[in-house]
């Protein structure tokens, strides 16, 4: 079996899959739709990061693909519904680079509060600019976190340890950690916070949700950070507010249109503005995080291939069933309609197949049943299950 890993996925992922028996091809950059479609023709597992767009067309042209691994937090670059309809589970790493992102946020808040980028530039220009004007401590400042998930909540704890007063807003009812204060609306948070940082997901509904109205609502001379998704912010509006002085500084790590590979040209309306920190989507790009992500996602791909385990799949039912050596496993992804399990079991009973273990999980329009038997299964049984109108994919794992 063959795995294709794109976008400089950490080498530990290739090593893990090679040890599991895969022929692994690695490529440094991202691929466009046509290139990806062609590259997947003889590939069983695909690994990407945040740039490659795994579209419905690319998946439909390669329905033999077994699974996709997103070696990052987000999965909005993958058409999850198209993958689910083709019985292709998608796995990601929702926790592995949380700490890396949080540390960068803290660092950038300090850099902006102390106006270090400007001090650095002036020294490089040969100007000694030793003065405290415009330089502030972050202790006692009010931090507003928009999105209180894995990253936002950990940021909350660390920022409070540094003496910041933490406020947060999330559309879900989240438990406040430490002394953080939950805001009932985004507007309430913007009225309070002196520094606003976004940590929302890649849901299409979040596109452009932070624009001129929200920047105008922010307190004068506030700081702004976006390390979530590029398309959630109107960067033209941010530029205007920075040039007017309403926003005192900004740190941006994500952009609506990002280059596909190292060295490609980049442009943004935020370039050249004082006290603006621009980073090339490196929030989770530490060696520690990338190694952990490589190991974690490669493990999910391996376990799905070898055991049928779908734990932490983002688009299909999640299921784990212990597997004993010598048993034969049937992994059946199907449409979630009543009676599928009964039909499968009746077919096995008709052919005298004894079931050693079985588990069913459902999620939305799809169901997944894993069945272990202690003896080989006759082809007529497999043909009958494959012929069921609900069947999306039947795999035999020995």
Residue 202 has pLDDT above 90, yes or no: no
Q: How far apart are alpha carbons 322 and 245 in whole angstroms?
A: 60
Global confidence as pTM: 0.81
- How confident is the model over 47-55, as a mean pLDDT? 95
Residue 31 has pLDDT above 90, yes or no: yes
Going by pLDDT thresholds of 50, 70 and 90, the confidence category of residue 199 is: very high
**Res 73: pLDDT:** 87
Q: Is 229 marked active-site?
A: yes
Q: Is 390 marked active-site?
A: no
**Res 377: pLDDT:** 86
Going by pLDDT thresholds of 50, 70 and 90, the confidence category of residue 323 is: confident
**Res 380: pLDDT:** 92
Any residues with CB less than 8 A from the CB of 362 and at least 6 apart, and which? 317, 336, 368
Which residues are paired to 91 by β-bridges? 69, 313
Catalytic residue among 258, 291, 327, 390: 258
Instruction: Give the model confidence (pLDDT) of 216-264 as tens digits.
Output: 999 999 999 999 999 999 999 999 999 999 999 999 999 999 998 888 9
Q: How far apart are alpha carbons 67 and 74 in whole angstroms?
A: 16
In degrees, rounded to 5, the angle at the alpha carbon of residue 198 between the alpha carbons of residues 202 and 101 is 85
Coil, helix or strand at residue 25: strand
Going by pLDDT thresholds of 50, 70 and 90, the confidence category of residue 270 is: very high
Nearest residue to 65 (alpha-carbon basis) of 84, 50, 92: 84
**Res 273: pLDDT:** 96
Q: How far apart are alpha carbons 118 and 99 in whole angstroms?
A: 27
The beta strands (E) that lie in 336-378 are given as 355-363, 366-373
Tell me if 65 sits within 8 A of 94, measured CB to CB. no
> How many CA atoms does the CB half-sphere of 214 hold within 13 Å?
23
**Res 75: pLDDT:** 92
Q: How far apart are alpha carbons 164 and 194 in whole angstroms?
A: 10
Residue 340 has pLDDT above 90, yes or no: yes
Catalytic residue among 114, 199, 281, 329: 281
**Res 261: pLDDT:** 80
Q: Percent of the chain having pLDDT more than 70?
A: 100
Domains, the chain, in order of start with CATH, read 1-96+287-316 (3.40.50.720), 98-278 (3.40.50.720), 317-398 (3.30.70.260)
Instruction: Give the model confidence (pLDDT) of 344-376 as tens digits.
Output: 999 999 988 999 999 999 999 999 999 999 888
- How confident is the model over 286-299, as a mean pLDDT? 95
User: What sign results for the dihedral spanned by CA atoms 7, 11, 14, 17?
Assistant: negative
Residue 53 has pLDDT above 90, yes or no: yes
**Res 180: pLDDT:** 98
Going by pLDDT thresholds of 50, 70 and 90, the confidence category of residue 153 is: very high
Q: How far apart are alpha carbons 312 and 371 in whole angstroms?
A: 20
Q: What is the CA radius of gyration of the chain?
A: 25
**Res 22: pLDDT:** 96
Instruction: Give the model confidence (pLDDT) of 162-193 as tens digits.
Output: 999 999 999 999 999 999 999 999 999 999 99
Catalytic residue among 99, 115, 219, 229: 229
The position carrying tokens 């972050």 is: 138
Tell me if 5 sits within 8 A of 24, measured CB to CB. yes
**Res 198: pLDDT:** 98
Instruction: Give the model confidence (pLDDT) of 91-141 as tens digits.
Output: 999 888 899 999 999 999 999 999 999 999 999 999 999 999 999 999 999
Q: Percent of the chain having pLDDT more than 90?
A: 90
Residue 388 has pLDDT above 90, yes or no: yes
Q: Is 288 marked active-site?
A: no
**Res 375: pLDDT:** 81
């Amino acid at each position: 079996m063959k795995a294709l890993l794109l976008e400089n996925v950490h080498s530990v992922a290739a090593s893990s899959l090679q040890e599991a028996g895969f022929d692994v091809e690695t490529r440094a950059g991202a691929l466009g739709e046509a290139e990806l479609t062609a590259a997947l023709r003889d590939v069983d597992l695909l690994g990407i990061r945040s740039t490659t767009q795994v579209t419905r067309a690319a998946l439909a042209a390669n329905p033999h693909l077994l699974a996709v691994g997103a070696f990052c937090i987000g999965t909005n670059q993958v058409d999850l519904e198209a993958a689910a309809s083709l019985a292709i589970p998608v796995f990601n790493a929702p926790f592995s680079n949380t700490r890396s992102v949080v540390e960068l946020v803290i660092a950038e808040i300090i850099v902006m509060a102390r106006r270090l980028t400007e001090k650095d530039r002036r020294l490089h220009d040969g100007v000694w600019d030793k003065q405290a004007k415009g330089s502030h401590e972050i202790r006692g400042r009010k931090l507003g976190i928009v999105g209180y998930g894995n990253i936002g909540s950990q940021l909350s704890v660390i920022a409070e340890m540094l003496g910041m007063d933490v406020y947060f807003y999330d559309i879900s009812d989240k438990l406040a950690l430490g002394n953080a204060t939950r805001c009932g609306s985004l507007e309430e948070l913007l009225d309070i916070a002196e520094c606003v940082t976004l940590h929302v997901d890649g849901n299409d509904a979040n596109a452009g949700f932070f624009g001129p109205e929200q920047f105008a609502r922010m307190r004068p001379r506030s700081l702004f950070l976006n390390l979530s998704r590029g398309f959630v912010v109107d960067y033209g509006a941010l530029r205007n507010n920075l040039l007017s002085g309403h926003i005192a500084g900004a740190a941006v790590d994500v952009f609506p249109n990002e280059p596909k590979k190292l060295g490609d040209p980049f442009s943004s309306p935020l370039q050249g503005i004082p006290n603006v920190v621009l980073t090339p989507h490196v929030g989770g790009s530490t060696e520690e995080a990338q190694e952990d992500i490589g190991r974690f996602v490669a493990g999910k791909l391996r376990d799905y291939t070898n055991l049928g385990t779908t734990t932490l799949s983002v688009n299909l039912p999640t299921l784990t069933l212990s597997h004993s050596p010598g048993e034969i496993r049937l992994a059946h992804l199907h449409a979630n309609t009543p009676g599928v399990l009964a039909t499968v079991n009746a077919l096995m009973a008709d052919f005298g197949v004894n079931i050693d273990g079985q588990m069913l999980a459902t999620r939305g329009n799809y169901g997944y049943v894993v069945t272990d038997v202690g003896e080989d299964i006759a082809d007529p049984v497999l043909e009958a299950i494959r012929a069921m109108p609900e069947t999306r994919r039947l795999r035999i794992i020995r």
